Amino acid sequence: TNSPKSIIVIFGATGDLANRKLYPSIYRLYRNGKLSENFAVVGVARRPLTNEDFRNNVKKSISHFEDKSIDPDAFASHFHYHPFDVQDLSYYQSLNKLLNTLDEKHETEGNRIFYLAMAPNFFGTLATNLKSEGLTSTNGWTRLVIEKPFGHNFKSAKELNDQIREAFTEDQIYRIDHYLGKEMVQNIEVIRFANAMFEPLWNNQHISNIQITSSEVLGVEDRGRYYESSGALRDMVQNHMLQMMALLAMEPPIKLTPEEIRSEKVKVLRALKPITEEDVEKYFVRGQYDRGILNGEEINGYREGNSVDPESNTETFVSGKLLIENFRWAGVPFYIRTGKRMKKKSTEIVIQFKDLPMNLYYDKEENIHPNLLVIHIQPYEGITLHLNAKKGEYGSTSTPITLNYNNNGSNDKMNTPEAYEVLLNDCMRGDSTNFTHWDEVALSWKFVDIISNAWENTKAEQFPNYESGSNGPKESEALLENDGFNWWSVT
């Protein structure tokens, strides 16, 4: 087969991401014939594990698949472990030896992916040392996959980027935004550009506003230390939310190449109206969860969590209004909203069309029902179109109806590829379309920095300001009401 051959080196091999996402994704690629037999995975971390320990961990991480057609031991035999100290050059040299041996054994033609799934403070050092110790000079290709957070603000992101760019060229760098690997996020462009009915209406003449919500039920769990210095703005808005916005707002690319698509996304980010620090309050709302009841269970407030300051100023909820200043979008607000400990886990995009000039079927008791196109990203995957039709009665009034497409309907959940599976496969094939280019990262940070500065400089006296299990603080509702809109709750 022509499945890509390579060694995947995973730094942070004992971590949560590796166990929860990467090993299961590699397994699914293997099972679906997307990996040739010529692959090896080298797990790298501080802990002194044997190959056998490591393989047992890997087998545990895939045990829920219960797939009889694949022998877990045969799969695990592709995995090797190498203990590691990021600061100590001798470990790089011994790792390189191991990679050379495995390269011969598995015939991977010198192709290597270095996947950084570990604490970000070492990203730069690692990249530098990989190059200086010769791990990036092979007969094949070498690529760097880098997890978030990519910096803490524009300045630190740039420092990090400069450092990794000394060792890797831009086209060798794959910055992960796992939202870009989600089926329905990838579907945004297809829905827009493969249908004659949407694109002609996709502008400020016909769309009144767009809403992007990503709500979570989980709190910050045991990530308090990271989250305290991040908050929802850096954790979700800088990356996932702005990426979804860019896909919704971009012009059609002239071709489906990574360069063309990226260049259209970059233009959207460049057209984003910058907010001044004084205006942040007008455009953005921050929230922090209080105690509350979720799924019948009593939940602690954010400030009562592990490694969290009891006076914490960190936001666990953000909503905001974004304006894109170009011909297509001038005057159309893009509202975004994301938070932890909200009522339900759901990511959804609502495109609200403008009202008709006149409604013949309006009756006094009834509201006008604008047309909505809803793109359900997760957990339910699908598309719903909200229309009006005749009420099944005498008289002539209209009633809202929906047309539904369910993307997990025919496929059982097992067959919809997971984001990480898709992205790993893309990286192995050398397709960087669904990864973020430095230009996008830079522009997103510049936008977000103004808001985070404003928030860091003023204590949020009102925190905590939303109950666990709610839809966030009431100011978030007001943000839309002031413009004559409301958040659609559509699932």
Helix crossing, 183-193 with 242-249: angle to 10°?
20
Confirm or deny that 46 is annotated as ligand binding: yes
Nearer to ligand BG6, 208 or 214 (CB): 214
Is the bond into 72 cis (omega within 30 degrees of 0)? no
Sequential DSSP letters for 406-436:
ETTSSS-GGGSPPHHHHHHHHHHHT--TTS-
By beta-carbon distance, which residue lies closest to ligand BG6? 235
Sequential DSSP letters for 210-263:
EEEEEE-S---TT-HHHHHTTHHIIIIIIIIIHHHHHHHHPPPPSSSSHHHHHH
Q: Minimum CB separation from ligand BG6 for residue 36, in Å?
A: 29
Q: Minimum CB separation from ligand BG6 for residue 345, in Å?
A: 7
Nearer to ligand BG6, 231 or 301 (CB): 231
Q: Minimum CB separation from ligand BG6 for residue 347, in Å?
A: 6
**In 252-305, where do the E strands start and end?**
284-287, 289-294, 297-299
Burial class (CB in 10 A: 0-12, 13-18, 19+), 348: buried
Nearer to ligand BG6, 82 or 148 (CB): 148
Helix (H) or strand (E) holding 449: helix 438-457
369: left (phi over 0), alpha (psi -120 to 50) or beta: beta
Confirm or deny that 255 is annotated as ligand binding: no
Confirm or deny that 80 is annotated as ligand binding: no
Q: Minimum CB separation from ligand BG6 for residue 372, in Å?
A: 22
Q: Minimum CB separation from ligand BG6 for residue 236, in Å?
A: 6
**Residue span 322-361 as binding mask against ligand BG6, x where in contact by CB under 6 A, dash where not:** -------------------------x--------------
Q: Token match 């979570």: residue?
A: 216
Nearer to ligand BG6, 120 or 253 (CB): 120
Question: Which amino acid is it at 386?
Answer: H
Per CB under 6 A, 235 contacts ligand BG6: yes
Confirm or deny that 376 is annotated as ligand binding: no
Per CB under 6 A, 418 contacts ligand BG6: no
Nearer to ligand BG6, 94 or 153 (CB): 153
Per CB under 6 A, 216 contacts ligand BG6: yes
Q: Is 106 considered catalytic here? A: no
Q: Minimum CB separation from ligand BG6 for residue 482, in Å?
A: 28
Confirm or deny that 225 is annotated as ligand binding: no
DSSP secondary-structure letter at 287?
A: E
Residues 116-155 within binding reach of ligand BG6 (CB under 6 A): 148
Confirm or deny that 86 is annotated as ligand binding: yes
**Distances in whole angstroms, Cα of residue 42 to Cα of each of 33, 74, 96, 167:** 20, 15, 11, 21
Confirm or deny that 449 is annotated as ligand binding: no
**Active-site entry in 78, 80, 106, 240:** 240
Burial class (CB in 10 A: 0-12, 13-18, 19+), 435: buried
**CA–CA gap between residue 394 and residue 381 (Å, rounded):** 36
Annotated binding site for substrate: 178, 182, 216, 235, 340, 345
Catalytic residues, by residue number, are 240
Contacts with ligand BG6 by CB under 6 A lie at 148, 216, 235, 347
Residue ranges for the known binding site for NADP(+) are 46, 85-86, 148
